[in-house]
Chains A and B, each alone.
Chain A
């Protein structure tokens, strides 16, 4: 089979090669180029958003106000959240999808290559607008990444309009990206690649893309109503006109909860790819994984109000959303079980991607358990809007989503660059990250349970020790990521040739093309056994 590919590659040798310079990146229609752009963009945003987190943690190192004024503190929490969600995690997953989905299903490229480039290039502009608003008179958005009304309407500053339109265009970018992924998967699979033969990363992305197309437009609706409420005198979120501020929360979380699954389903796909490779076993329960993913996605549409238990919903609502939320942990549990069962009696080795995946499984599960605690309505009355919630979502997002992205980068980096990364540095990166991330987020559970509210630049002195510790963890985690940056650059520059099949236990079409993967792969569809 690989012979076919080489012939094919030879035929097309002298045309269709990337033209050099900046034009290559501006005009490209190549899924690998666009994937690279997405990944670098996400990494840069990760570092920028990370700096904002460090501003937050520097302020919270001690009780009292020291470094920034409260309004700027609020802008930092807001923009940190927006950047990490829309600028780091989502583009990173889209970048991975761009690189890997066509290669995994034996497609020549993404289905709509030009639109692919368009969806990428909108993003830097969207974030430019968002970041620029920080430097404008009156400051940037300061109402939290969830932009609850009336904070974002009656009480927000003048740059809200820029926030609204920047969210609009990043939403368009995500929708176009998702359409591309879905169409590629449905229409460009090589003959023989039936749906139930697809690698799980492809499956999870298919379902993620569906979620994206379903809920990003709802986000667009929400920001539009904020815009008209603030600037054009409507009263969607104003009781004096017959509306309701709580209505905002319903619309937002109808988007927001599926959004958190948008940020974790591809992670499930990544871990389901890596764990079998280094356990040298097939994935345990492939089809149950597929069905679990699909049911998580469907359930995610009917749990949104677990973010709103304290708004005074009718009792029926409280109960309905509590039980549905708890139901989600069943398919999530199925996944964790399957990963563990895959490792069970496997011939395991612990390369860096595997280390990050195992860390993912353990730490994400902690986040899932704290989620379950939050899902209990009466308990949430106590936990809501405390640092416990912050601990919960950082366990699922940082040690969940981000760790899986890092694992994926280590796993496929040799395929992308043709070089092996520096194992020593990677180990250093792993251990520094693993330890510091727990120093950073674990104590948040305790201060949260003790009642420390989130999104406040000052706190009562009984929380001082834990907060100092948290801030130390934060800076350590932040600086650990510079090791990663250095490692990436080193890996791209240096020459440690790897074979086509980088990991001996790996399975999948991407390992049958040479490393680094040629500019065009599978221009003729491969044969699937």
Chain B
């Protein structure tokens, strides 16, 4: 082999994984106890959950600090960079499958359970015996059990939000080209705009939720329509929050001059994540809001 070989960097021991495992334990145990105590009352679950989140943040800061330092001191080979990229891509794939489960529930409800309850196919007796007055329509504004709600239209806030997220996908792309062509101004400007758009999106989303709860009687427990609506948009919103935070951290690193035109995995990963969140929203907009 004449080819130049750069050693693959294997870090020596690191305390962060075990710290992270303790953090995950506190989060899982805290969240479990917290939810349990919602009905029974009392307890310390909430505090454990908060403690767990602090531990995880502490871990992330420490861990990423190590990684950034290693990267800045040139320990990473291009092969390492590929590991990171592939790892991130598979992580995003797992997220896609997570949303897939909830979209699956949405489609199942719309194509099977709601029509069947209304007597479709061979389920005439189901309808006649259980809830003869039930009408199968989507959005399901009146559940078989009798709960009523109103459907969220797609005009107004959701439409604005769609435009906002789409624009942000474009702006982050321009930020990326700015980085690749070493145009710092373009990079900082467009990245800043992207983060801003993310924040506006989240703000409008919160407005929408408040509107739904206070004026439309559309709640998490308003039957399968409300369930899928809030869990899908809610998990998406959480991902936007996370994405915005990641972009913000990347922004700080840009200001510090951490990235080179040919070496900027963190930026790349953040932008992939952002595009992914955008695509999920598009599916949401089509299947939750419009149709």
Contact = CB atoms under 8 A, between A and B. Distances in A.
Interface of A: 16, 19, 23-24, 26-30, 107-109, 111-115, 117-118, 121-122, 125-126, 128-129, 158-159, 161-166, 168-169, 172, 175, 178-180, 182-183, 186-188, 191, 213-218, 220-222, 224-225, 227-228, 231-236, 239-244, 246-247, 250-251, 254, 314, 520, 523-525, 527
**Interface pairs A-B: 5 shortest CB-CB:** A221-B101, A233-B221, A240-B145, A121-B21, A242-B224
A218 B101 contact: yes
Nearest to A107: B8
Interface in B15-34: 15-18, 20-22, 24-25, 27-29, 31-34
Nearest to A117: B17
A225 B225 CA distance: 14
B220 A228 contact: yes
Interface of B: 1, 3, 5, 7-8, 10-18, 20-22, 24-25, 27-29, 31-36, 38-40, 63, 79, 82-84, 86-87, 90-91, 93-95, 97-98, 100-102, 104-105, 108-109, 112-114, 116-117, 121-122, 130, 140, 143-145, 147, 220-221, 223-227, 231
B235 to A, nearest CB: 9
A182, A183, A225: which has the most chain B beta carbons within 10 Å?
A183
A475 to B, nearest CB: 34
A162 B83 contact: no
B38 A235 contact: no
Nearest to B63: A114
B38 A231 contact: yes
Contacts of B84: 112
B143 A28 contact: no
A148 to B, nearest CB: 16
A241 B145 contact: yes
Given A27-B17, A228-B231, 17 more contacts: A19-B13, A112-B83, A114-B63, A121-B18, A159-B32, A179-B90, A188-B79, A220-B98, A224-B231, A225-B231, A232-B221, A240-B145, A242-B113, A242-B140, A246-B113, A247-B105, A524-B7
Contacts of A183: 83, 86-87, 90
Given A159-B36, A244-B109, A244-B116, A114 B14 contact: yes
Contacts of B27: 165, 169
Contacts of B83: 111-112, 183, 187-188
A213 B22 contact: no
Contacts of A244: 108-109, 112-113, 116
Contact of A228 (B33, B114, B223, B227): B227
11 contacts: A121-B18, A161-B34, A161-B36, A179-B91, A183-B87, A217-B97, A231-B35, A234-B231, A235-B224, A242-B225, A520-B10
B76 to A, nearest CB: 12
Contact of B28 (A165, A191, A227): A165
Given A165-B32, A175-B94, A247 B21 contact: no
A30, A107, A118: which has the most chain B beta carbons within 10 Å?
A118
A213 B97 contact: yes
